[in-house]
Amino acid sequence: MAETVRNPKQVRSIDKKNRIIEAGYRLFARDGYYSTNTAMIAKEAGVSTGIVYGYFRDKRDILVEVLNLYVNKVFEPIFETFENIQAPVDFDYLLSYAVDDVVRTHRDNSAIHAALHSLTYSDEIVNARFTELENEMTLRVADCLEKGGYRSDDLKEKVHLAMRCIQDYAHEYTYDHHDYLSYPRMKELLVAMLKHIFE
Amino acid sequence: MAETVRNPKQVRSIDKKNRIIEAGYRLFARDGYYSTNTAMIAKEAGVSTGIVYGYFRDKRDILVEVLNLYVNKVFEPIFETFENIQAPVDFDYLLSYAVDDVVRTHRDNSAIHAALHSLTYSDEIVNARFTELENEMTLRVADCLEKGGYRSDDLKEKVHLAMRCIQDYAHEYTYDHHDYLSYPRMKELLVAMLKHIFE
Amino acid sequence: MAETVRNPKQVRSIDKKNRIIEAGYRLFARDGYYSTNTAMIAKEAGVSTGIVYGYFRDKRDILVEVLNLYVNKVFEPIFETFENIQAPVDFDYLLSYAVDDVVRTHRDNSAIHAALHSLTYSDEIVNARFTELENEMTLRVADCLEKGGYRSDDLKEKVHLAMRCIQDYAHEYTYDHHDYLSYPRMKELLVAMLKHIFE
Amino acid sequence: MAETVRNPKQVRSIDKKNRIIEAGYRLFARDGYYSTNTAMIAKEAGVSTGIVYGYFRDKRDILVEVLNLYVNKVFEPIFETFENIQAPVDFDYLLSYAVDDVVRTHRDNSAIHAALHSLTYSDEIVNARFTELENEMTLRVADCLEKGGYRSDDLKEKVHLAMRCIQDYAHEYTYDHHDYLSYPRMKELLVAMLKHIFE
DNA sequence: GATGAATGAGTATTCATTCAT
DNA sequence: TATGAATGAATACTCATTCAT
């Protein structure tokens, strides 16, 4: 209970901790959180089962770090898109590009995304981390738009709503894909409607 | 090996099966699927552990029935809203009402919704059932709008997109609720943008 | 504990009891005793699970009756062979014929024989019944030989030994069958050696 | 899923594995395979239930090792008898000695023999192991006789038949023992008849 | 006699976590 | 730091037997 988790400072140790996180990433993506056990993670990372508890409080703790790795891998590229906006903001282009970008990202990371997102509902920490991430994205993107000369009283609300809708579309596009719907047409509708609130 | 699951026809038995499903509903909502064991379900239902396997193939089978119960409880009322639409369709009113309705439903059933939805990613059946449900909703609502005199080539795409956006908003409203955002304003934006694509 | 088992006298009831025994016979032969449950037996017999306990004390009790049925089906024909012996006894013919007969019987009933014999070691009753049967066979066959004019002080010992050896040969022939052995030659040796002690 | 069973190399571990096997040996002998559960084995061995599955794939896997232990304990001494044969072979003495030896072995190990042999019919592996053992015995004994100067075209068949008859006699002597039979006389008959085919 | 729903003790196996070395 | 053997609580599922109807 009163055990302390090592905070590795030596290079070799940092390496080992990262190897465990990456092993968790791969395994959670492939088999899901509940079907991956700590022994598998240790083996995949090439370390002993015991040492895992030298770097992580428990299995869930690994999950949290895997989540951070995921965030870095997946969301950072999206932020970059918005950081180069020029005034005046071309919403037609920006929204269309963002949708494609998010869809691509979803597709490339579908496995780990599914594994992690499924825990949102049962795991407070995971949920908080995802929420925090959303906050950050909303604020950063809003900031970028302001730097691009866009002004609005409801800026944060607009950005937030737009982001959620785009992600939801990407999510559905990747996982559900109903046959009887035209997704290109849906994308046009999505872009049109978001453009409407921004103009 | 070739054991079959009872298909109860007597009133007493149907009762007992329902008691088990309702016990599962309560427990899954409170503790989640993975933290609920069959002994707890039996006890909550006031039956023996053995008889559970007289009515259900396995624990997952209970989940499927709980899901059906949830669908009936939660989605049927929403359908009803759309079945009384009068021509011409008043989108302003309809969208606003639908958003409030979905938010209310989410709030009242948040626990079970979370428990079930979290399985979407790891359980084929649950995922299929949710997808099927979306199909049905889209088609039924589209049908209602046509009966209300609304015409559009992209009707299904519009309805589908609108539904997802509304649900996503309700979801966020219920679970995430970022402090720095004005949800009333966000609702206005949502309604405005959806109204835009319908008009 | 103080429950009594019905001793059916009505035709319909005897029928039902026999149907259960025969169902047990088929199922034990196909799946073995431990892999057959009482529900399966009841279903195969076309009766309810409850009534099984009207005719049998417990599952083992069914086994005992199945064993009796087996004995009647399998051993009675063998007895008949010996009951028509003419003086003087032609051991060459008799032994050769007996070996073939027992091998055939073993082959035709291998499944149920295996299922029952496997219980000899763990079930006192089954073991006693098999032993009793051996007694009876030894005494009846010895009797037949005496009626056929054969005299010996050690008659019972000879008959018993011969019977066991023949059965053992048949058993091996049916179940083990080693590739590198000539069974026809082994049969010749068996007959020769048994003939030797009888002459 | 892809879990592997430890293959212990350290002395302490080998010890522990052996303790489990020996615990299984004792318990299977006392209560039989089906009446012994893994918790009992672990307790008898003085280890935790979990570690049992570190050394054995499943309960059946323990059985296989118990079988090997049994084979070593019981059959090796018998082989030794035959390895010191001098030419010319004195069958009178050899057969008589072998019968007594097998009877003694049976008696000393009757419980475990019964427990294991009862599985011959329901367990492929156990059956195969017993058959393999018979092969080995037949071939080794035949080899010894040849080294002792005995020649015969049907050597293997003779040895095999003799071995089975001796074992069968020992088995009956140990388990069945009919009161009305003289076992010393039966032994004489057995030896006489086997001697006959060897000379 | 007959039904079949109900009981609940019994069991193999897994796995997060600990600890002796 | 590191190992990996060891722990033991936890759990889904079975089935002989009983009993209300």
**pLDDT (tens digit, 9 = 90+) per residue, B86-117?**
888 899 999 999 999 999 988 888 888 888 88
- Distance from the Cα of A11 to chain B's closest Cα (Å) equals 37
Q: Are A91 and A195 in contact (CB under 8 A)?
A: yes
Report how far residue C93's alpha carbon sits from residue C103's, in angstroms, rounded to the nearest whole number: 16
Q: Kindly indicate the confidence band of residue C4, based on its pLDDT and cuts at 50, 70 and 90.
A: low
Q: Which of C119, C154, C190 sits opposite D189 (nearest CB)?
A: C154
CB-CB neighbors (< 8 A) of A154 in chain B: 182, 185, 189
Chains C and D touch (3+ CB pairs under 8 A): yes
What φ, ψ does residue A109 adopt, rounded to 5°?
-120, 25
> Looking at the predicted structure, is the pLDDT value of residue D9 above 70?
no
Sequence-separated (6 or more) residues with CB below 8 Å from residue B139: B156
Which SS3 state, helix, strand or coil, does residue B5 take?
coil
CB contact under 8 A, A121 and B194: no
- In this prediction, residues B143-153 reach a mean pLDDT of 93
Which of C7-11, D8-12, D90-94, D156-160 shows the lowest mean pLDDT across its residues?
D8-12
* A52-68 residue pLDDT tens: 999 999 999 999 999 99
- Residue C6 contacts D where some CB pair is shorter than 8 Å: no
Q: Which residues in chain D are contacts of C154 at CB distance < 8 A?
A: 182, 185, 189
Q: Which nucleotides of F are covered by protein (CB under 7 A)?
A: 1-20
Residue B157 pLDDT more than 50? Answer: yes
Residue C13 has pLDDT above 80, yes or no: no
Count Cβ atoms within 10 A of the Cβ of residue C50 and give its class: 0-12 exposed, 13-18 middle, 19 or more buried. exposed
What pTM does this model have? 0.84
Q: What pLDDT does residue B73 have?
A: 84
Provide mean pLDDT across the span D107-119.
84
**Is pLDDT larger for residue D81 or for residue A193?**
A193
Alpha carbons C195 and C89: distance in angstroms, whole number: 11
Q: Note the pLDDT of residue B120.
A: 81
- Any A CB within 8 A of B158 CB: yes
User: What is residue A8's predicted lDDT score, i.e. its pLDDT?
Assistant: 65
Closest protein CA to C1' of nucleotide F3, residue: A48
Nearest to A194 by CA among B165, B168, B56: B165
Q: What is the mean pLDDT of residues B67-84?
A: 84
The pLDDT > 90 percentage for chain A reads 57
Q: Which residues of B91-102 are buried (b: 16+ CB within 10 A; e: fewer)?
A: beebbbebbebb
* Tokens, residue D173: 């002597």
Provide the 3-class DSSP secondary structure of residue D13: helix
Amino acid at A184: P
Q: Mean pLDDT, to the nearest integer, of B117-133?
A: 83
Q: What is the pLDDT of residues D29-64, one digit of tens each?
A: 998 898 999 999 999 999 999 999 999 999 999 999
Out of D119, D161, D178, name the one closest to residue C189 (CB). D161
Question: Straight-line distance from CA C54 to C1' E2, in Å?
Answer: 9
Q: Which residue is nearest to nucleotide E21 (CA to C1')?
A: D12
Q: What is the mean pLDDT of residues C24-32?
A: 92
pLDDT-derived band of residue A14, with 50, 70 and 90 as boundaries?
Answer: confident
Give C158-173 pLDDT, tens digit per residue.
Answer: 999 999 999 999 999 9
- Which nucleotide is nearest, taking the CA of residue C48 and each C1'? E3
Chains within contact range of chain D (3+ C-beta pairs < 8 Å) = C
The number of C-beta contacts closer than 8 angstroms across A and B is: 106
pLDDT band at C177 (very low <50, low <70, confident <90, very high): confident
CB contact under 8 A, C121 and D32: yes
Give the DSSP H or E segment for A103.
helix A91-108
How does residue A96 score in pLDDT terms, banded at 50, 70 and 90? very high
The amino acid present at B43, given as its one-letter code, is K
- Tell me the pLDDT of chain C averaged across its residues: 89
pLDDT for residue A77: 77
| pLDDT at residue C79 in the model | 79
Asked if the model's pLDDT at residue B12 lies above 80, the reply is: no
- Give chain C's end-to-end CA distance (angstroms, integer): 56
pLDDT of residue B16 exceeding 90: yes
Write out which nucleotides of chain E lie closer than 7 A to a protein Cβ.
1-20
d(CA A180, CA A98): 25
Is the separation of the CB atoms in B78 and B101 below 8 Å? yes
User: Average pLDDT, stretch A152-172?
Assistant: 95
Please give the protein residue whose CA is closest to the C1' of the nucleotide F14. Answer: B50
User: Does the structure show a pLDDT above 50 at D2?
Assistant: no
| Interface membership of C36 toward D (CB under 8 Å) | no
- What's residue D10's pLDDT? 62
- pLDDT 10s digits, D170-196: 999 988 889 999 999 999 999 999 999
**Residue range C101-154, pLDDT digits in tens:** 999 988 888 888 888 887 877 777 888 888 888 898 899 999 999 999 999 999
Whole-number Å distance, CA B37 to C1' F9? 14
Evaluate whether D30 touches D21 at the Cβ level (below 8 Å). no
H/E stretch holding A111:
helix A110-117
- How confident is the model at residue A11, as a pLDDT? 67
Check if C196 contacts D (Cβ < 8 Å): yes
Lowest mean pLDDT among A22-31, C13-22, D6-15, D118-127: D6-15
> Is residue B74 within 8 Å of B44, Cβ to Cβ?
no
State how far the Cα of B161 lies from the Cα of B156, in Å rounded to an integer.
8
Tokens of C193: 């050696």
- The string of DSSP letters for D41-62 reads HHHHHTS-HHHHHHH-SSHHHH
pLDDT higher at C92 or A110: C92
Question: Among all residues of chain B, which has the CA nearest to that of A166?
Answer: B165
How many whole angstroms separate alpha carbon A58 and alpha carbon A79? Answer: 31
Q: Mind giving me the DSSP string for D93-149?
A: HHHHHHHHHHHHHHHHTHHHHHHHHTTTTT-HHHHHHHHHHHHHHHHHHHHHHHHTT
Q: Given CB atoms, is B169 within the 8 Å cutoff of chain A?
A: yes
Chain Cα centroid distance, residue D153:
28
Confidence band of C19 (pLDDT split at 50, 70, 90) = very high
Which stretch of B12-16, C33-37, C83-87 has the lowest confidence by average pLDDT?
B12-16
| Alpha-carbon gap, residue C156 to A90, rounded angstroms | 110
Domains of chain C: 1-57 (1.10.10.60), 60-198 (1.10.357.10)
Higher pLDDT: D187 or D89? It is D187
